[in-house]
Amino acid sequence: MRITSIPQLYRNVNRWREILGVLSKYGLAGWLSKFDLPLTRRLFRDSEGGTLAQVSREARIRMAIEELGPTFIKLGQILSTRPDQVGAELAMELAKLQTGVPADEPGAVRATIAAELGAPIEELFAEFCETPVASASIGQVHRAKLKDGSDVAVKVQHAGIEDRVRVDTEIFIGLASLAENLPELRSYRPVATAQELQRVIRRELDFGEELRRVKQFGEMFKDDPRVHIPAAYETHSARRVLSMQWLEGAKISDPGIRSRPNVNLAQVARNGAEIYVEMIFQHGVYHADPHPGNLVVLPGDVIGLLDFGMVGRLSESLREDLEDMLLALVSQDAGQLTAVVTRVGQVPESFDETQLSTDIADFVDHYGHQGIGHFDLAGALSELMEIVRRYRIILPTPLAMLIKLLVMLEGTAQLLTPDFNLLEVLAPLQQRMMLRRFSPLRQAKKARRIYGDLEQLVEVAPRRIRDLLTQMQSGKFDVHLDHRGLEPSVNRLVYGLITSALIVGSSLMLSADVLPVYGVSAPGVAGFLLAALLASRLWRAIRKSGRLDRRD
């Protein structure tokens, strides 16, 4: 950690102590689980009294995050969309994070609404229920009625959550800075990932951004009878308050949805899947949290979408990469799938593409014999993410989030129809993908983009070449070489020189009786002992790994 972060560390010392205490408790419980000792099993328990030593590592991480509070819960939910970094098992466990947090007192809610909207509740709403219907990590939702009789859901941000988020994200970045020093974690770019998470959660704190997203999706699907986007009330919304139309229906997470009359669950599942496929492949903007609690079944098998705090966006190039990945998976083309993964992802220095090709070929062979009606798309994508994580390949955040969304979407649809298969919805897209990719309009756009790049290259290249020739003519042309892998050899050479110098110097002191003790030169003996220590370390390091700058 940098010296400049010391003031921040001192300012947040109490929260640091609390976080490190929770992490050490769950980490120590994991270490003690290796020993079958009844006393140690009783020492560490979770908030409900359960024994931590008998819980899996992934579950302990989730429980520690829940104990650390709303900010870390939100960070964990975001990390659950990155199975390529945290692994499929941990991503699935983080998706279970409980978002329920204690609600604010009615007085705090009233103060927030009055401060944001400039008037007390009585002047803004005809009715306002002070008991929230839900309370999540960022805010809580109240049911209310406007003066014109419209039923609305009012989302109010928790008091003091911005300061809590600021402190916790600073600490999270500090922990990431420490993780950056560990060689096994450095390839995952923990600081960059932490900063990205910080940006995401800060965007969620601005309800004005969510208001704009709701209006955007409402415009996108205004003529689609399969989906209903709640209307947003801009006059009753601000940075920390958001008012939207109240949707009266059954959430997919409601166990009683199967007993509701006039509901075709199979049609609801297919409608929801088709809506998301259209968002992704046609609009390039999608609702990124298809959790069962965020989907409401309305009369007529219409899907209502809630909570637009997380919205994903896909560029044209990433959309094409996703299409290539799905087409290669469906057509059993292992070579194409390997090429897409290595082209899109950031590969580490010590990357074995041959072994990756072999693993992906085995993966494609395993899933390639499944018919479309029985194809486990969620399992295939999860296993592909595990292969990517094993080789420490970092996928772009939008692409990793989208793959996680497809897995979550199939799981949510299967709550309604257990035999639902997302690939059956995606299969008709294959022909449309190819037609759209080779359409004249798309080719014209790509040609314009390529022409712009070439025009810029033609404009810049002569000047760069002239500068290069000028530097060569004046003798200022430098070539910087990055020697990789020479550090162990240099370290061994330095250790060998120091050891040799100590042996020679000690021999001279012994022969000259420098500072003798009992007739023997004390500095000479000390030098020989130190030389022996250095020589033994050098010999051990060469035999084991040939490196002195890494522990074995």
Which tens digits make up the pLDDT trace of 52-75?
556 777 888 888 888 887 778 877
Rg (CA), the chain: 30
Residues in the chain predicted with pLDDT less than 70, given as ranges, are 1-12, 27-54, 81, 84, 98-100, 182-188, 368-374, 429-439, 442, 480-488, 544-552
pLDDT in tens, 439-487: 677 677 777 878 788 888 888 888 888 888 888 778 777 776 666 556 6
Which pLDDT does position 542 carry in this prediction? 74
* Percent helix, percent strand, percent coil in the chain, to nearest 5: 60, 10, 30
Nearest to 385 by CA among 351, 426, 344, 414: 344
Q: How many helices (H) and strands (E) does the chain have?
A: 24, 13
Which pLDDT does position 144 carry in this prediction? 95
Residue 438: partners with Cβ closer than 8 Å, 6 or more residues away: none
Say how far apart CA 30 and CA 82 lie, in whole Å: 24
User: What is the phi/psi pair of residue 532, to 5°?
Assistant: -65, -40
- Coil, helix or strand at residue 430: helix
Question: Tokens representing 316?
Answer: 């044209």
Is residue 64 within 8 A of residue 93, CB to CB? The reply is no
Instruction: Determine the straight-line distance between the first and last CA of the chain, rounded to whole angstroms.
Output: 24
Say how far apart CA 34 and CA 219 lie, in whole Å: 56
| Residue that the structure tokens 């790049």 belong to | 453
Question: Tokens representing 182?
Answer: 């560990």
Say how far apart CA 217 and CA 305 lie, in whole Å: 10
For Cα atoms 187, 189, 193, give the angle at the middle one, nearest 5 degrees: 145
Nearest to 272 by CA among 401, 410, 376: 410
Strands 151-157 and 139-146: antiparallel
Which pLDDT does position 31 carry in this prediction? 44
CB atoms within 10 A of CB 215: 15
Which pLDDT does position 484 carry in this prediction? 58
| pTM confidence score | 0.68
Which pLDDT does position 229 carry in this prediction? 93
Is residue 226 within 8 A of residue 275, CB to CB? The reply is yes
| Residue that the structure tokens 């990517």 belong to | 388
Say how far apart CA 152 and CA 457 lie, in whole Å: 54
CB-count exposure of residue 550 (10 Å: 0-12, 13-18, 19+) = exposed
Residue 262: partners with Cβ closer than 8 Å, 6 or more residues away: 299
Which pLDDT does position 72 carry in this prediction? 81
Which pLDDT does position 527 carry in this prediction? 84
The dihedral built from the CA positions of residue 433, 439, 441 and 442, taken in this order, carries a sign that is: positive
Strand partners, 394: 346
